[in-house]
């Protein structure tokens, strides 16, 4: 490839700029700082309408600004097909940005929808994106860095270091329940401490110095590493570097179709306390969202129908199997909260996501409420009452569970409900952050 200065014609790696759902601020910034691109050897700008270059030309790299909406899907796919590399330019292209937020909050939605713009998505939801330039507006310096990589035929990876002191990692561990993204992690150690505290030891720290990351032992997949699926790592993570599967969209789809809600009394109570209303208004809220049927199921009451050690969820069941294999003979299958077709489970326990899809936690329910913009004080008060559960022993947290299992093995009688989360299910992995035990 000839080594020439960036030009608006001539020879070099051909770069074309495009814009969709955005304010064009990223491209205006590039034009304002064009001298930085002009100092880059081997680049030829062949398309940029702001510079008067808007003809249909051949290009190697497509730099695309803005979120993408339904009417423009095919146009974006055509651009992707003609380009060797496609870069997402700025926050709207990379994350959806203000455009996507506008649809989420319903701002001028009717006007856009009447023109066919049903939704706005980041580019990677429609086509393959090879790299990105962050910022609102995007950083021209970062664009120059990315183009330098491409000139050397070395596409920048997702986690390459572009700024001094920026954390770098190429290891993301993900399955149908959890995702761990070391690129977001601040290495506070909360998840590692909690995982060790409950006896799972599925998370650890790896590497040294500024390269330290949180990962699994030997970078194994979660279940291979010993994860019991309690979800506490995600609940306590302050930056969402660890996150459990989100079923919010599936729950909203069920609500639109008049589906059923299966909800725990404890989930009702915690949601009510979080929003400063009564549990009866939460029932009214769920109906307002579109659910046609309500089924309140108490896992504690289900446990009274069993004898022996009763795990409250799959997490406690796996914990007993690992820590007390000798208790297999007195260990029941865990309590399951499930529903039928087009039903949504609402729970304070993220581990229940393994039993039913979709299952949303109270934390996710509050996210739905925030997006729905419903005035809770206008909702009617639905009748609600719950009966206390008696004749059952409840062990809360790893210490109490350990003692309870040992005592039951020595004197097997009655029913013992095991809740591994510190503080029990009322401080479960699906509860809002402020309800969790301070550690």
Query: Which range, 98-112, 163-177, 288-302, 384-398, is most confident?
Result: 288-302
Fold of the domain built from segment(s) 248-435: Rossmann fold (3.40.50)
Distance of CA 156 to the CA centre of its chain: 24
Question: Is the pLDDT reported for residue 1 higher than 90?
Answer: no
Task: Say which CATH topology domain 13-151 has.
Answer: Rossmann fold (3.40.50)
Q: How confident is the model at residue 164 (pLDDT cuts 50, 70, 90)?
A: very low
Name, in order, each residue with C-beta under 8 angstroms of 167's C-beta and a sequence gap of 6 or more. 182, 183, 185, 210, 213
Return the domain boundaries, the chain.
13-151, 173-244, 248-435
Query: Residue 162: is its pLDDT beyond 50?
Result: no
CATH fold match for the domains 13-151 and 248-435: yes
Structure tokens at 77: 């796919």
d(CA 10, CA 5): 10
CA dist., res. 244 & res. 236, Å (int): 11
* Residue 161 pLDDT level (bands cut at 50, 70, 90): very low
CA–CA gap between residue 431 and residue 135 (Å, rounded): 32
In words, the CATH class of domain 173-244 is: alpha beta
- Mean pLDDT over 251-266 rounds to 94
User: Pick the residue with more confidence: 272 or 40?
Assistant: 272
- From residue 63, give the alpha-carbon distance in Å to each of 29, 87, 188: 14, 5, 36
CB distance 195 to 242 below 8 Å? no
H runs (alpha helix) in 277-420? 279-289, 299-303, 314-323, 362-372, 397-410
Please name which of 120, 77, 72 lies closest in space to residue 100, comparing C-alpha atoms. Answer: 120
When pLDDT is cut at 50, 70 and 90, the band that residue 208 belongs to is: confident
pTM for this model (two decimals): 0.63
Mean pLDDT of the chain: 86
Is residue 182's pLDDT more than 90? no
Q: What is the DSSP letter of 324?
A: -
Strands 343-347 and 260-263, sheet pairing:
parallel
């Amino acid at each position: 490839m000839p080594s020439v200065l960036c030009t608006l014609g001539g020879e070099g790696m051909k770069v074309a700029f495009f814009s969709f759902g955005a304010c064009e601020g990223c491209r205006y910034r590039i034009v304002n700082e064009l001298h930085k691109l002009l100092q880059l050897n081997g680049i030829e700008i062949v398309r940029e309408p702001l510079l008067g270059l808007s003809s249909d030309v051949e290009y190697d790299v497509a730099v695309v600004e803005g979120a993408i909406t339904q009417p423009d899907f095919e146009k974006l796919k055509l651009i992707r097909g003609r380009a060797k590399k496609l870069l997402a330019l700025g926050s709207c292209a990379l994350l959806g940005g203000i455009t996507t937020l506008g649809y989420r909050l319903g701002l001028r939605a009717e006007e856009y929808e009447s023109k066919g713009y049903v939704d706005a998505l980041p580019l990677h939801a429609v086509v393959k994106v090879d790299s990105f330039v962050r910022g609102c507006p995007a950083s021209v310096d970062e664009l120059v860095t990315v183009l330098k990589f491409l000139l050397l035929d070395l596409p920048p990876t997702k986690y390459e270091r572009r700024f001094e002191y920026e954390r770098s990692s190429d290891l993301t561990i993900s399955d149908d329940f959890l995702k761990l993204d070391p690129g977001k992690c601040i290495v506070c150690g909360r998840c590692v401490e909690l995982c060790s505290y409950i006896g799972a030891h599925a998370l650890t720290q790896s590497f040294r110095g500024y390269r330290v990351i949180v990962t699994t032992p030997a970078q194994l997949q979660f279940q291979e590493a010993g994860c019991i699926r309690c979800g506490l790592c995600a609940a306590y993570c302050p930056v969402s570097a660890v996150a459990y599967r989100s079923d919010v969209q599936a729950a909203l789809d069920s609500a639109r179709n008049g589906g059923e809600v299966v909800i725990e009394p404890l989930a009702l109570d915690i949601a009510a306390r979080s929003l400063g209303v009564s549990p009866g208004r939460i029932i009214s809220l769920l109906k307002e969202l579109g659910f046609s049927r309500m089924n309140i199921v108490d896992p504690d009451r289900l446990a009274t129908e069993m004898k022996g050690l009763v795990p409250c969820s799959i997490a406690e069941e796996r914990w007993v199997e690992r820590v007390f294999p000798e208790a297999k003979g007195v260990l029941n299958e865990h309590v399951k909260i499930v529903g039928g077709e087009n039903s949504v489970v609402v729970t304070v326990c993220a581990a229940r996501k393994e039993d039913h899809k979709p299952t949303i936690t109270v934390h996710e329910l509050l996210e739905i409420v925030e997006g729905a913009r419903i005035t809770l004080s206008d909702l009617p008060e639905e009748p609600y009452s719950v009966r206390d559960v008696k004749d059952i022993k409840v062990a809360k947290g790893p210490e109490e569970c350990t003692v309870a299992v040992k005592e039951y093995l020595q004197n097997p009688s009655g029913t013992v409900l095991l809740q591994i989360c510190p503080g029990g299910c009322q401080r479960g992995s699906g509860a809002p952050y402020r309800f969790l035990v301070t550690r």
